[in-house]
Amino acid sequence: MSHVINEKCLGEVYAACVDVCPVECIHPGPYKGEPFMIIDPDVCIDCGVCLPECPIGAIVGSVDESPEWAAINKELAPTFKNNPKVATRPANDPPKKPGNTLVK
């Protein structure tokens, strides 16, 4: 079972998760006109190192925690995996979207 990036990432993209992923399964791309990141469920090894890296808690530990976003991650993975990496955004940079808060 893979980890899942949910709606909190939409328009935020801190990308610190990419730097720690040992299998390079996290990819950026546009979704609904905004920057977004996905976890490729076919590559994710469920190691969990990405979970504490997201300063807004946009990564959940299983598809069961966010089945709708798990389906979106899976659907977008084939088109996102060849996109160029994005720069890591500082973890203390305030969220851009109302309702998102820093969890660290």
Q: What per-residue confidence (pLDDT) applies to 1?
A: 79
Single-letter residue type at 61: G
Instruction: List, for residues 53-103, the tens digit of each pLDDT value.
Output: 999 999 999 999 999 999 999 999 999 999 999 999 999 999 999 999 999
CA dihedral for 35, 7, 25, 22, sign (positive or negative): positive
Using a cut of 0.85, tell me whether the model's pTM lies above it.
yes
* Distance, C-alpha 55 to centroid of its chain: 11
Is it the case that residue 36 has pLDDT exceeding 70?
yes
- Domain count within the chain: 1
Structure tokens that stand for 15 in this block: 């990308």
Is it the case that residue 23 has pLDDT exceeding 70?
yes
Is it the case that residue 45 has pLDDT exceeding 70?
yes
Q: Which domain holds residue 60?
A: 4-80
Q: Specify the CATH number for the domain of residue 51.
A: 3.30.70.20
